[in-house]
Amino acid sequence: MKLKSEILSLPSMATSETVKPYNDNDADKKQQVADMFDNISGTYDFLNHFLSLGIDIIWRKKAIRTLKASQPQYLLDVATGTGDFALEALRMLNPRKIIGVDISQGMLDVAKEKITKKNLGDRFEVVLGDSENLPFAADTFDAVTVAFGVRNFENLEKGLADICRVLKPGGKAVILEFSKPKRFPVKQLYHFYFNHITPRIGKVFSKDHRAYSYLPESVAQFPDGQRFTDILHRVGFSQTECRPQTFGICTLYIGTK
């Protein structure tokens, strides 16, 4: 298995638009993101469901349901974090195997504890690895999922292109990511909650004072909606879909290789 320092040593291709977790730090975005998730791994699950008022569970189930008809047997969950999305996919889709990949060893350690506790080691495996240089051969997986991960990629196009590469022809990528609601009053309420409430609660409960300020900043900068499906097309996906959830707070994207 590669060390974190090894997988993070790829050349940085960050753009001037890049929002990083720590502005006072010279490390590239990828290293900063890995460090930030290492810092918050212990409180991540609790804060995730608490701050989203549990709605993220509905979004996750909806995303996984889009794969039910194709009955994927070999699944890759990119940016798997603490493994909740992959565990839900395992439960709902009953595939032969899921591999979860992430750049944060801290997050993967939490996932590993869950895997051991549930005795799922033969069906769910986690690997330290980078979405922009996935340690798998081309045309390997029936489906790839990413929940709340793409916004954190250092080079979005490179990450999505590599996801396309490891998918089998005809395989689907299912991607969930926060987006920006556009209509009054949800837009204003969301803005207030995300920019003022979330960072304060995050600061109290997590060990990282910047993590929950980086969250709204990275969502604001992220190319959501049509801009994202345009990128999916550019890197090789077809039949792309963009399905806004809960007034556009989150969006489910689907692309076929």
Ligand X SMILES: C[S@@+](CC[C@H](N)C(=O)[O-])C[C@H]1O[C@@H](n2cnc3c(N)ncnc32)[C@H](O)[C@@H]1O
Are the C-beta atoms of 248 and 186 separated by less than 8 Å? yes
At position 8, the amino acid (one-letter code) is L
Using CB positions, name the residue nearest to ligand X. Answer: 81
User: Nearest distance from residue 69's CB to ligand X, in Å?
Assistant: 22
Number of other residues whose CB lies within 10 A of the CB of residue 55 = 14
Q: How far is the CB of 192 from ligand X (least distance, A)?
A: 21
Beta carbon of residue 44, minimum distance to ligand X (angstroms, whole number): 7
Measure the CA–CA gap between 69 and 47, rounded to whole angstroms.
32
Supply the minimum distance, in Å, between the C-beta of residue 85 and ligand X: 4
Q: Which is nearer to ligand X, 77 or 170 (CB)?
A: 77
**Cα(145)–Cα(142) distance, rounded to whole angstroms?**
10
What tokens were used for 68? Answer: 């039910």
Q: Rank residues 146 and 242 by Cβ distance to ligand X and give the closer one.
A: 146
CB of 173 to ligand X, least distance (A): 14
The residues near 239 (Cβ < 8 Å, ≥ 6 apart) are 254, 255, 256
Which helix (H) or strand (E) segment holds residue 191: the answer is helix 186-192
Q: Which two tokens stand for residue 80?
A: 């798997």
Residue number with CB closer to ligand X (152 or 198): 152
Residue 123 is given by DSSP the state T
Nearer Cβ to ligand X, position 5 or 238?
A: 5
Please identify, using beta-carbon distances, which residue of 184 and 190 lies nearer to ligand X: 190
The binding site for ligand X (CB under 6 A) comprises 30, 33-34, 37, 48, 78-81, 84-85, 101-104, 107, 130-132, 147-149, 152-153, 159
